[in-house]
Amino acid sequence: MGGPISSADTLPAGTGAETGNVAPPRRIVSLNLCADQLLVALADRSQIAGLTRYASDPNMSDVAGAAASLPVFGGAAEEVLAADPDLVIGMPARRNPAIAVLKKQQYRSLDLKSAHDYEGILKSIRDVARAVGHPERGEALIARMNAQLARLPKGSSGKVAAYYQRRGYLTGTGTLIDDLMTRVGLVNLAGKLGKPSLSQMSLEEMVAAQPDFIVIDSATQKVTDQGTEMLHHPILRGIPRIAIPQAWTVCGGPAYVKAARAMAAQVNAR
């Protein structure tokens, strides 16, 4: 087993598995949802020794269907130890007894930073593609994503949108949602008002701000509890909605393209 490897020097070009000097990992374990999605997109299925329990949840994961037949772990360190991985992707930094056990094992690992914009997504794709021994797949995926984004319809720039979540939470700048809004020509209400990356906004404040759109998680289009009930208050009925599945935006990955296309289509349909 080797120690952690940084994203900057993971199987660098010309010295890694792509040249045959280093064998690609054969038993890869993912420790977070974002790593799950990139691993499914870029690794051979036979290389995947374990994904997180969130990987097969369609409300959280864009790869839920593909992950259904792959090994899924519940989060215990013992499961990872039993899998005997030769690469661990997404080693979390948070304090957690299970993670502390794994870090002591000095597994060869790739720590992924959260991607908050498209450039960050491309970096994560390249890092994971090199780490799993398939850099060409990363480049091919990026080429497809770039081509699809280049075909996005041009929206009416300057319209204001608010990403409004359960219990009145508002998503601000420096986030993946903000990056998506900018790409389709929208102005993030939170940024316009000088709000932080996450804040709360009352119904009255939202109406007073008069955004052109409210962007919501598709799952909240129906009232299921008090948290979602707030989004269906009559006072908001006059503001058009843009609905995007949370599974497309919870992580920076290939699903970014789906979110951008859906958002652009709904903006242009108004």
Domains of the chain: 13-147 (3.40.50.1980), 159-268 (3.40.50.1980)
DSSP lists the bridge partners of residue 243 as 216
- Specify the residue for token string 């269906």: 232
Tens digit of each residue's pLDDT (9 = 90 or more) over 217-255: 998 888 888 778 889 899 999 999 999 999 999 999 999
User: 42: helix, coil or strand?
Assistant: helix
Tens digit of each residue's pLDDT (9 = 90 or more) over 162-211: 999 988 999 999 999 999 999 999 999 999 999 999 999 999 999 999 99
Among 59, 269, 63, 264, residue whose Cα is nearest residue 180? 264
The distance in angstroms from the start CA to the end CA of the chain is 56
User: 188: helix, coil or strand?
Assistant: strand
Tokens of 101: 């056990």
List, in sequence order, every beta strand (DSSP E) within 60-172: 72-73, 87-89, 109-110, 159-163, 169-171
Tens digit of each residue's pLDDT (9 = 90 or more) over 69-127: 999 998 788 888 889 999 999 865 555 556 666 667 777 889 888 899 999 999 999 99
The answer to whether 160 and 241 have CB atoms below 8 angstroms apart is no
Q: Is the Cα dihedral 171, 243, 224, 255 positive or negative? A: negative
pTM for the complete prediction? 0.86
